[in-house]
Amino acid sequence: MDLYELLVPEAIQAKQELADRTAVIQRAGELLAAAGAIEPGYASAMQRVMDELGPYCVIAPGIALLHARPEDGVLRSCLGLITLKTPVVFGHSTNDPVDLAFALGALDKQSHIRALAQLAEYLSQEGFLCGLREAATTDVLKDFIYSYSKA
């Protein structure tokens, strides 16, 4: 599975205004649930992971990779992305505030690995981060991310 197959177009939104990290997690969950990729309870599971394990999911400056366990209600492997108009504090020691929030649903421990490797590679490229951050509308963001990951 490639990154563009893991991405759920309905779960990509640009320049959202969300008050705090709880609102970000809830929105990410709602979008993936509305697309039928996860059960609605998965958002609460992502929230629980954050509460229990701490904000380590803020993997790089401004970038969060939210996820819970396959058994928490993942219906198919999926990835959503919300970019934030006003960055939100997640409580990380060095990487706050967050303006790019990815939400991953993994069906098992293997099937998403190829796509995740591609995402990690792209996230290490400045041009990819700039493109995500500069996209002013959801349509522009979708166009950018799909054309980048299909190139």
Partner 1 sequence: MIIATLCGMGFGTSMMLKLFIDDILKAENIKAETTPWDLGSFKGNKADIVVAPVDMEPHLRDYPAKIVLVKNLVDKGEIKEKILRAIDELSHAEGGKTI
For the bound state, the minimum distance from the C-beta of residue 105 to partner 1, rounded and expressed in Å, comes to: 11
The rounded distance, in Å, linking the Cα atoms of 58 and 117 is: 17
- Choose between 8 and 57: whose C-beta lies nearer to partner 1: 57
Q: Detail the DSSP E strand segments found in 3-117.
A: 7-16, 58-60, 63-67, 78-88, 98-105
Does residue 92 carry a catalytic annotation? no
For the bound state, the minimum distance from the C-beta of residue 139 to partner 1, rounded and expressed in Å, comes to: 26
Binding of partner 1 by 47 (CB under 8 A): no
CA 100 → CA 41, 70, 106, 151, distances in Å?
22, 22, 19, 21
Q: Of the residues 67, 92, 112, 142, which is catalytic?
A: 67
For the bound state, the minimum distance from the C-beta of residue 66 to partner 1, rounded and expressed in Å, comes to: 9
The rounded distance, in Å, linking the Cα atoms of 66 and 61 is: 14
CA 85 → CA 6, 19, 74, 116, 142, distances in Å?
24, 11, 28, 25, 16
Binding of partner 1 by 68 (CB under 8 A): yes
The rounded distance, in Å, linking the Cα atoms of 141 and 16 is: 12
Binding of partner 1 by 107 (CB under 8 A): no
- Choose between 22 and 138: whose C-beta lies nearer to partner 1: 22
Q: Which residues are catalytic?
A: 67
> Which chain residues interact with partner 1 by CB under 8 A?
49, 52-61, 63, 65, 67-69, 92-95, 104, 106, 109-110, 112-113, 116-117, 119-120, 123-124
